Structure 1
């Protein structure tokens, strides 16, 4: 079927800052052969999906959420040159849109392993970019965290609830409403503190402070807390929130890498709690991370983690791949699998997984609420100095993440680790 389709003029890429968004503005040029192969693969893949794709005067797909490609040549060129990085940059450039963005991306996520023929997947090493060496050294980790979390506390305030908790909530029931989010975030935190048996007199180590809600709730249970962060913006606001709660005698928040912990100087802890921080550690440092946790844990202590996980076969296939998420959202990040966590703890520590529960659909709902709130506050985001390319980037990031959980490709788990002799 053909359809007359006139691309909007001008596209977003024609009016955004070419210095700030050089690779979004620039449309790559590939060889004629590579472009022809890419066009054939893209057309074949889109034609098989339960989507309705308007592209180049044609309608592709088997019906479903709408994906409208405004500039098919640029869209194809970006995918031919840069794969999924190009797919994301094409959205930032305004070259394609989807009225139901998470719905469209969920369809793609559900078909992720079959979109590209197996014969071409085996050749992915020819064009896929690789993560740079040293992406998670101490110096690089500081830069990685600053790139995301030090954007602006006010930006995060616009779409997070009043607890300023930037991780999956756990709701009483699904689907969820905005007014339930803060309570669901507290429920998530309380589940983790219960898992680690945090109570009066507990010494708690938190790796990854966020904006301080977990250490505040732990201190209100009568615990003393040492919390570590690499984000200056988060550190300053978390310290202010602890002070406002009059808990500064119970909570210490440090700007410090977890690798700098010292059991002689810092003592050992009855509980170690870490919420969605392992994703920023990097594959090569997972053993170091768990060894540090093991070293800092007192006899009889418990470790409670909240971790986003991916299938182990996809981890093995993509662990060195440099993605759009790395380039624009979370530099140096890598999601573990359940098997990777089990392997790292078994091979490098005395810790063992004693319990693991998944809440993937709860994260999908959390992300939906954040995305809707972010979109509703677009004018305020712009007033903070974030341009349209940034706003589209973050909208895509939130929708892309939501789709990962809705499709079941991603999960989020609360994991209890204990020493093998104490399990």
Structure 2
């Protein structure tokens, strides 16, 4: 039980700390605005410098594709359009349950606007209980719980492509259509995995993206409350104290922590995030210039290199990610961004299709209990004995307090 009396004694210190941090953040934003203006004057030079020295950086900096002073208004969405979205949830495996297995539930959404068509709002559950599903990942040192999360990401992409393909086969996609996913398209967590394990997860995702491209359905990753500093890291080239940004030679011992004596000279903006700066520069309904991510995981993406921009959706500054084939098609990009903004407006601050996909996917406590009750019935019918949870789990569910 949480002791609120003891916790209240810490609140004053937390509020004072946040006040100091707010003042420091305003100073960093002002510094970032100045560096942005200076970088705009040298943008071409800085981009060439980035390409020449990127292998020597100790940070990841995005590359600006458009002028740094771009503030682009988002067009209004057409009356008739379609939005496809998926999101996933799961029941994690536990040795304390009646059986060691896990479940992935994918919420599926198709919303038609201005077309007099019924929407699709449902979920697609799948249980995993075979040995190859539960233990195969351990050959690479990956826990089953982690592997479950990776497979969920794959299924979200595959189901999204299947929905788009179904619309195409039914000749229904006459209106502009987008496919939405919640979160980043940069699956950085796959980077340290062994090649075989990574291919099992990433290959189906890229195949799904290929299918979306063949159907001319733009893919958009919507990131709320982004913590990325990839765009601001480009400004580190402007603030570099050396003639050449050779981090490996000049700043190899720097860690980037909040210890002033152990910070590189170009870290004057840390720990400021991209959204803080663009919240000052953008007006509602505008987007930032387009950037190309430099995340290393993209080495395996082929021609699906991820581009992103920041959009002022009214309620927040959202990070919008798209594959390269969307970014390179200006008409497709503009159409996709207009539909994303419309979704946020309809959802009162968050895309309504993603919110509904989450609601369809989420596995609540009652759903979990019914899943294991159904599993228990099947195990008893199969003639298994001593079916039940561990004593630890039983006691936790029935506290005497």
**TM-score normalised per structure 1:** 0.23
User: If you compute each CA radius of gyration, which structure gives the higher value, 1 or 2?
Assistant: 2
**Larger RCO: 1 or 2 (CA < 8 Å, sep 6+):** 2
